[in-house]
Amino acid sequence: MEVIIHEVGLRDGLQMESQQVPTITKVQWAEKLVEAGIDVIQLGSFVNPKILPQMADTDELFEEMKSKKTSNVRFSALILNEKGFERALKADADLICMGVSASETHSKKNTGMTIAEALERIINIAKEAMKLGKDIQVSVQSAFGCGYEGDIPEERVYKIVERYFAEGINKVSLADTSGYAFPTKVERMFQTLQKMNPNAEFAAHFHNTYGLGIVNSYIAMQNGVKYIETAFGGLGGCPFTKQPAGNVCTEDFVNMLQKMGLRNDINIGKIVSVTKYACGFFVKDLPGYLYKTWREQ
């Protein structure tokens, strides 16, 4: 079983925090995550800094991390539109992530567009990126439910993904933006997607609103999902959803994997050091568990 860790703490983890994190501090955290052996690190999002001030230095962060990159790590970024895409190209992001919400309410709050409008825009950007030889990942946000609308019809999610596949886009993430996912639904939906396109690569992004994030990640793995998105310390939450909650905690998830005999190449202690640094910086406990009892081996 191959499991790739996509660490999103520097983007999804920080976007909910009102206290601005200096670029140099982000660089120090990113360096530790590189040293830990994380596979993919999302350095930030190329979005309007007036809307998300915490992401205002994403261009600078990519520039700072160029010289600190190893052959085993890839740097990703999230974009919402054409301008963000241009910035991601200039920064030479290894993986460009973009997506569409399955909730009309969330879509309008997050992008100012309807689902249909956002889908056309994202597909056009994705196709242009593929023409340029860039690696991309598209997502369906609020795929398991929405804090504003409640249950999201699964068929709506499948139709969005079906459109991705029809356009030749085969790396797809289901994002549980509001934490509504539960194991049997995760299993059913990923099994359905596998049948739709056995050659696709799938990712999963779960939030821990109701404490089910790590078990949902496990079920996703068991159903062919290769990429699991997590955040150090369990930081995070979408600022454009009704009930924001943290991500699956990276070190907690890696600890589970290592108990299962997987990903022993990742240095948990390095991740814990980032979480402890973040606790001190924000002067608060974070949602993760392992760091609270961790002792250096």
Catalytic annotation, pick one of 97, 238, 249, 279: 238
CA–CA separation, 8 and 45 (whole Å): 10
CA-based nearest residue to 89, from 147, 139, 128:
128
249 is catalytic: no
Q: What is the DSSP letter of 249?
A: B
Assess contact for 97 and 139: CB atoms under 8 A.
yes
**Residues 162-181 as b or e (16 or more Cβ within 10 Å = b):** ebbeeeebebbbbbbbbbbb
Per DSSP, the three-state class of 191 is helix
Tell me, what DSSP letter sits at residue 284? S
**Residue 202, strand partner residues:** 172
The two tokens of residue 275 are: 């979480």
Q: Tokens representing 65? A: 């991390």
Residues, the chain: 297
Are 125 and 106 within 8 A, CB to CB?
A: no
Active site residues: 238
